[in-house]
Chain A
Amino acid sequence: MTNDAAGAPPRLELRRITKRFPGVVANDGVSFSVQPGEIHALLGENGAGKSTLVKIIYGVLHADEGEVLWNGQAVTLANPHAARRIGVGMVFQHFSLFDGMSVLENIALGLEGKSDMRKLNDRIIEVSKAYGLPLDPRREIHTLSVGERQRVEIVRCLLQDPKLLIMDEPTSVLTPQEVERLFGTLRQLSAEGCSILYISHKLQEIKDLCHHATILRGGKVVGECDPATESTRGMAQMMIGAELKTLARRGARPRTATRFNVDNLSLATDQPFGINLKSIGFEVAAGEIFGIAGVAGNGQNELMRALSGELTVAQPSSIRLDGKPVGNLGVEPRRALGLCCVPEERNGHAAVPDMSLASNALISARNRMKLAVGGWIKHDATREFAERIIQEFGVKARGPESAARSLSGGNLQKYIVGREILQTPEVLVIAQPTWGVDAGAAAAIHQALFNLAQNGAGIVVVSQDLDELLTLCDRLAVLNVGSLSRAIDTADASMEEIGLLMGGLHGMSAEVPAVHGSAQNVA
């Protein structure tokens, strides 16, 4: 597979890499190579083993079997220091930054050895200018936007003069405009001879950016292709491993009774680095699925908590359920009226990992499903309800007594979604319904949401995944620094339009520099 014309060895070559975790083989005999200056895509679903593989390349994890070759030489990557020393840089999906420390300190911590802080300060400014990544070294991380934090990671890598840059799902936190800017930087690096290993499950991006793609499924390499010529559908089928089912887009239906109404909802955050909500307004009709898009960290957490009742507002009428004002009510009173929620975080928010599935049913269903009466728990009824969720939603678990943490992400998510849907809510508010979930589970969850809407419930989906929102929703609006945009019909929404709404002020402030253009030109 290495038919490099010059005959030079590839920059990086993996041979039969295998890595096992308890109960799962994350990488199973993975081999591929990356040429100098090549932008190489590593494509696969959540759980395909991409992140494990790049952690091995970066020395964070160690392979159980197999070899890593660097410029044709076998190397041992004992730790990230060793990887950095030979010229591997990595930008993590969940940033490896320190919130309470400055940009300068964060960068110094990621470099080899001790740095002269004053010189480093100048170099950061220099490098960030050269690549269109403006940064102020003195600012503390918690004051930066998500896009800016990613720049810190990238600049940290660039200062090492990397020969191979690993990007792990870099665009999941960016607006479409920020993505374009990032691609400009990456193309510039590629032109300078730096190889890039680009991990993603977003096919269009890979088509736009990458020279070559390796596709992983279930820890194995299942195919390679040239993304420029291969169709996205073809890549998707390799990635998922099955004929792609087309979800029928539901036709626009006449708007009927309003079930859920949010009007002029404002809320000051209670978190140290949170976002204030500013006069949010939208309404959801019976049978409608309403989407709330936006880059993470724009007030989604606060909005979810305000809608669920974890945070209450003084003005009752700012949230109305079937016309009843509920803004001042807590979680349980709202639930009693028919408002159910699925928070974004499964472990520790929607479910208690160390408790059994049955106990987890009690968390949100104890009153609506009469699993507890007069303060006493009915253990039999609870187990039966848990059993019903497991059956009806095809949750793979040993039974109601299995600990929640023993389930895979997709199965736990199915259980949680099932727990709320079986309570036949009037309105369901759900955040990131399929985040980190395999394709099968995602399809099942989407279908369940369609069915719930079909039966007349109103649904609000908060998600960062635009593709998902476009699949699911009738209308959507964008949350940006605590404000919600006007709602648009998904039937005639364009990516550009949504992208602009997402951009808002966020990431597109006055600091967009002139060098930005020059970076683009190089590519």
Chain B
Amino acid sequence: MSLKFEARREIPRWLVYGTPLLAIALTILSGYLLFMILGLNPGSTLYIFLVSPLETQFGLAELAVKGGPLILIATGLAIGFRANVWNIGAEGQLTMGAIFGAGVALAFWGDEGVWILPLMFVAGALGGMLWAAIPAFLKTKFEVSEILTSLMLTYVAALVLSILVHGPWRDPDGFNFPQSRLFTEAAILPVILEGTRLHVGALVALFAAAAAWVLLTYTVTGFQIKVVGQAPMAARFAGFSQKGTVWFSLLLAGALAGIAGMVEVAGPIGQLTPQLTPGYGFTAIIVAFLGRLNPIGIVLAGIVMAISYIGGENAQVYAQLPQAATGVFQGMLLFYLLASDFLVRYRIRIQSAKPRREVATA
């Protein structure tokens, strides 16, 4: 008797969307073991991690506050990953978007005008696109791997932000803290739900995911992205431009990450600070994969990841669990997900000594 792996000829749909659930289950199981090793009560810690975020209205609103930027960024990244463009510098593009958006807010500080927020959106998108354009240019012009360039630019963006909040943009009345002035009313995203931090950013994220779904399902551009990613030679045969696709997917991802950054500073933060997010740009990579690079899946995955963030914060307070535990969970989830892909592509057979006869179908 032995195990045998056979490549599937046709891949069942339910398996593609079912395996993320398996990965989540395995992650929870591993978390249980991890908490035991750390000497915590695994049951109650898991409860704090997974259920407590869902218990209050405030918690539910926070899911949208944290899930929004994750969904925005992951949607852009997923389109890139489908085109085989490995932009892993969304965190930097987010930072640049935040800087550009904040630049508008600070330039018109104290002004009132309904145009300020739209202008901040545009500025945020442009900031992200500018940062994403660098790897796009280097890849299309010189074939430099976008993996390393986009990541290096993340460090650079963080330092640019640091320069600004330590220097020119530092709040003059802020006791020398490295942060900008608090934005004025006109530059703050309106709250949708009284008593929570839920703001219109979440709606923007849902809109972006829906638009991306339409793009991928009904447009030639979406088809082009998929063909370029799966079979570059076939894309050339189809008359699709490889370079155009690289530019499109990087600029789109940059714009969405930039908007996510701008939404963070104009929403929950309300000013520019040296540390804008707990690594949304990187977590969004996991969100994209967990959602199977499908915008609808990404919305669900974004919510799951938001739970892990809020649960992580709660666990930090109530179970004295280090914040890094969240990262461990997220990494594990991605591992399990990638491993479970094997089940999607291969059928596992238990082979007895005398294999049964098979009928040729080909």
Contacts and interface: CB of A to CB of B under 8 A. Distances in A.
Whether the complex brings A and B within 8 Å at their CB atoms is answered yes
A363 B9 contact: no
Nearest to B7: A22
Residue picked from A305, A330, A352, A379, most chain B C-beta under 10 Å: A352
A335 interface: yes
A64 B355 contact: yes
A247 interface: no
Contacts of B226: 355
B324 interface: no
Contacts of A406: 9-10
A376 B361 contact: no
A354 interface: yes
Contacts of A402: 10
B360 A335 contact: no
B12 to A, nearest CB: 12
B10 A349 contact: no
Given A20-B358, A353-B231, A330 B10 contact: no
Nearest to A333: B239
A123 to B, nearest CB: 41
A118 to B, nearest CB: 39
20 contacts: A20-B358, A22-B9, A22-B347, A23-B360, A25-B360, A331-B239, A332-B239, A341-B237, A345-B233, A348-B233, A348-B234, A349-B231, A363-B227, A363-B238, A364-B238, A372-B223, A377-B220, A377-B223, A403-B11, A406-B10
B204 to A, nearest CB: 24
A355 B237 contact: no
Contacts of A345: 233
Interface of B: 6-7, 9-11, 218-221, 223, 226-227, 230-231, 233-234, 236-239, 347, 355, 357-358, 360-362
Contacts of B236: 305, 310, 331
Interface string A308-334: 111000000000000000000011100
Given A377-B220, A402-B10, A406-B10, A363 B234 contact: yes
A355 to B, nearest CB: 7
B117 to A, nearest CB: 30
A375 B360 contact: no
A174 B125 CA distance: 58
A335 B237 CA distance: 11
B234 A351 contact: yes
Place the interface of chain A in its size category. Answer: 35 or more
A516 interface: no
Contact of B358 (A23, A341, A343, A379): A23
Interface string A374-396: 01110100000000000000000
Given A363-B237, A375-B219, A408-B362, A354 B230 contact: yes
A302 to B, nearest CB: 13
A25 B361 CA distance: 10
A142 interface: no
Contacts of B218: 376-377, 379
Residue picked from B219, B238, B355, most chain A C-beta under 10 Å: B238
Nearest to A330: B239
A49 B361 CA distance: 16
Contacts of A25: 358, 360
A350 interface: yes
A481 interface: no
Given A376-B219, A403-B10, 18 more contacts: A22-B6, A22-B358, A23-B362, A24-B358, A24-B360, A308-B237, A310-B236, A335-B239, A349-B233, A350-B234, A352-B230, A353-B230, A355-B227, A359-B223, A375-B221, A379-B218, A403-B9, A408-B362
A354 B218 CA distance: 18
Contacts of A24: 358, 360-362
A366 interface: yes
Residue picked from B223, B227, B234, B361, most chain A C-beta under 10 Å: B234
Nearest to B9: A406
Interface string A251-277: 000000000000000000000000000
A372 B219 CA distance: 8
Contacts of B11: 403
A16 interface: no
A362 B220 CA distance: 9
Contacts of A379: 218
A20 B6 CA distance: 12
A23 B237 contact: no
Q: Which 10 residue pairs are nearest across A and B when measured between Cβ atoms?
A: A331-B239, A332-B239, A349-B233, A406-B9, A348-B231, A352-B231, A363-B238, A22-B6, A23-B361, A310-B236
A466 B360 CA distance: 32
A349 B220 contact: no
A349 B239 contact: no
A14 to B, nearest CB: 19
A331 B238 CA distance: 7
A359 B235 CA distance: 12
A106 to B, nearest CB: 27
A408 B223 CA distance: 25
Interface string A283-323: 00000000000000000000001001110000000000000
A516 to B, nearest CB: 39
B9 A23 contact: yes
A425 B279 CA distance: 54
Nearest to A342: B237
Nearest to B241: A330
A345 B236 CA distance: 13
A446 interface: no
A309 B239 contact: yes
Nearest to B355: A64
A352 B358 CA distance: 28
A405 interface: yes
A371 to B, nearest CB: 10
A68 to B, nearest CB: 19
A332 B238 CA distance: 7
Nearest to A401: B10
Contacts of B227: 352, 355, 363
B195 to A, nearest CB: 43
B281 to A, nearest CB: 29
B223 to A, nearest CB: 6
B238 A20 contact: no
Nearest to A406: B9
B355 A310 contact: no
Contacts of B6: 22
A271 to B, nearest CB: 12
Residue picked from B221, B223, B236, B237, most chain A C-beta under 10 Å: B237
A78 to B, nearest CB: 15
Given A23-B9, A403-B10, A406-B9, A343 B362 contact: no
A336 B13 CA distance: 36
Nearest to B236: A310
B220 A355 contact: no
Contacts of B360: 23-25
Contact of B237 (A20, A310, A375, A403): A310
Contacts of B230: 352-355
A312 to B, nearest CB: 11
